[in-house]
Amino acid sequence: MIRSLASLALFALVACTAGAQTPTVTGGRLTDETIQHEGRERRFLVHDFAAGPKAPVVIVLHGGGGHPENAVSMSQMDKVARREKFIAVYPGGTGGMPGGKLLTWNANHCCAYARENKIDDVSFIGKVIDQLVASGRADPKRIYVTGMSNGGMMTHVLAQKLPDRIAAIAPIVGAVFGDEAPAKSPVPAIIFVGQDDQNVPAAGGPLGGAAKRGSLARLRDKPEDHDVAPAIAQAEYWARANGCAAPVKMNEARFEEIRWEKCTSGAPVHFYSVANNGHAWPGGQAGRAEADQPTQAVNASEMMWRFFAANAKP
């Protein structure tokens, strides 16, 4: 356990998702809610900007070593939710350190505490969705999930395991590992990676990179137990699941874009490799002053919302 806690503490520092102050919400209703799950209390923030019942929901998963308040500040999703009148939900992972701040998700091969302790985060998020729908707040046909880094990895897992509950996903600087089982059902996906990301290498391999360039490479004990697949494998996985034909590729100064639009399922896949962006949420905020600073030329939260709004469940 001492080794695991040390790894998690270091992972939190190098993943640059350390503490943020509890945000203030203007024009909405903030609740700090909990659910009992696997013998522990699990926490999630609900920032409700809905104009009425059965609103869309965007679930935002923090990165490895982060926490719910941190996801609010890094994603800046509240700005979009306030304007578009949806509910933003920020769940917390689990961790072995006091204070409830250094948290991770069990995305099969990553990361740290949650993986090592085999936490069932899929059923936890399922319970969160159930509670939101049962309360009348959430539209069950418009439940969307996004997340950064370890949260992006978890986003893929949730879509694989809960495709009947999730309308579309938007992983940010995340990854798949290449050994995932085929998805049960199609899920629309919009995916963002950073061209300068040295923590989740574009070519695949260990977190931090085989050349030890990324800050995660400084860890003595790796938070993952399997190399990540190349970044494009995320999009290719969902293109196969969604029955998509050959993609269309476009380049502009802000990003390289690959789109799969001709899909037998009707579920598209969009992939953006963002220029001048490292391991950060494009258009958001960095978790720490020394972290990779996100580009402001691309706003992932705005782009994903437009994608989500066009991809409700039938």
User: Which pLDDT tens digits describe the chain residue by residue (314 residues)?
Assistant: 334 443 443 344 344 444 444 444 556 899 999 999 999 999 999 999 999 999 999 999 999 999 999 999 999 999 999 999 999 999 999 998 887 789 999 999 999 999 999 999 999 999 999 999 999 999 999 999 999 999 999 999 999 999 999 999 999 999 999 999 999 999 999 999 999 999 999 999 999 887 777 767 667 778 999 999 999 999 999 999 999 999 999 999 999 999 999 999 999 999 999 999 999 999 999 988 888 999 999 999 999 999 999 999 99
Q: Identify whether the C-beta of residue 77 lies closer than 8 Å to the C-beta of residue 20.
A: no
Tokens matching residue 308: 């989500």
What is the three-class DSSP state of 132? helix
What is the three-class DSSP state of 309? helix
* Kind plus residue range of the DSSP H or E element containing 1: none
* Helix and strand totals (H; E) in the chain: 8, 10
Q: What is the rounded (10 degree) CA torsion for 219, 224, 225, 230?
A: -110
Q: What share of the chain is helix, strand, coil (3-state, %, to 5)?
A: 25, 25, 50
CATH homologous superfamily of 2-18+29-309: Alpha/Beta hydrolase fold, catalytic domain (3.40.50.1820)
Task: State how far the alpha carbon of 221 is from the alpha carbons of 13, 66, 118, 178, in Å.
Answer: 14, 18, 17, 22
Q: What per-residue confidence (pLDDT) applies to 193? A: 98
| Contacts of residue 151, Cβ cutoff 8 Å, sequence gap at least 6 | 60, 61, 62, 63, 64, 66, 71, 105, 172, 174
Total-model pTM: 0.93
What is d(CA 80, CA 99) in angstroms, rounded to the nearest whole number? 29
The sign of the torsion formed by the CA atoms of 273, 277, 279, 283 equals negative
Q: What per-residue confidence (pLDDT) applies to 222? A: 84
